[in-house]
Structure 1
């Protein structure tokens, strides 16, 4: 079994999840992780995850199908308004 991921939520993602940070199962891709988190927290978070950007260990992750590294920290960043 892969080491657990740490998921950190920011702004609207934090509001939708209702938590600042939580563990998630390892060995998943971003798409799979989004499915797990959407089931865990409901449609409001699932909608945010569809448009969010993700940092994996501080680096932007564009490939949503690539398995995440073991014990990674995944930051969920919803689109931000303003400039």
Structure 2
């Protein structure tokens, strides 16, 4: 008798990455998706590979919100389906 085949693993919903101000200009878009199952530092590497050094410079100094909450730990796992807001430093306020 053979063991039953486990059901296929459900795919995790993707991350939504939203860009604001200078990050939007550097990425050339307002929003995009990325695959789930990663940490913020891994996502930053992927976004740099997609968009180049101009965005990389912004990401180095940006703040990140994960589902509306400031993320200080770039090594923490990102929840599947999360919305990541990329906020570059803002002048004047």
Interval of TM-score (by shorter of Structure 1 and Structure 2): over 0.9
Mapped pair 1:31 → 2:41: yes
Following superposition, which runs of at least 4 residues in structure 1 exceed 6 angstroms of deviation? none
Give RMSD over aligned pairs: 0.8
Rounded Cα–Cα distance in structure 1 between residues aligned with 2:66 and 2:38: 12
Give the equivalent residue in structure 2 for 1:61: 71
TM-score (norm 2): 0.86
**1:27-55 deviations in Å (ceiling 9; x for gaps):** 11111000000000000001100110000
2-structure distance, mates of 1:71, 1:63: 18
CA distance in 1, matches of 2:61, 2:37: 22
> For this pair of structures, how many residues does the alignment match?
83
Structure 2: gaps (5+ residues): 1-10
Structure whose CA Rg is larger: 2
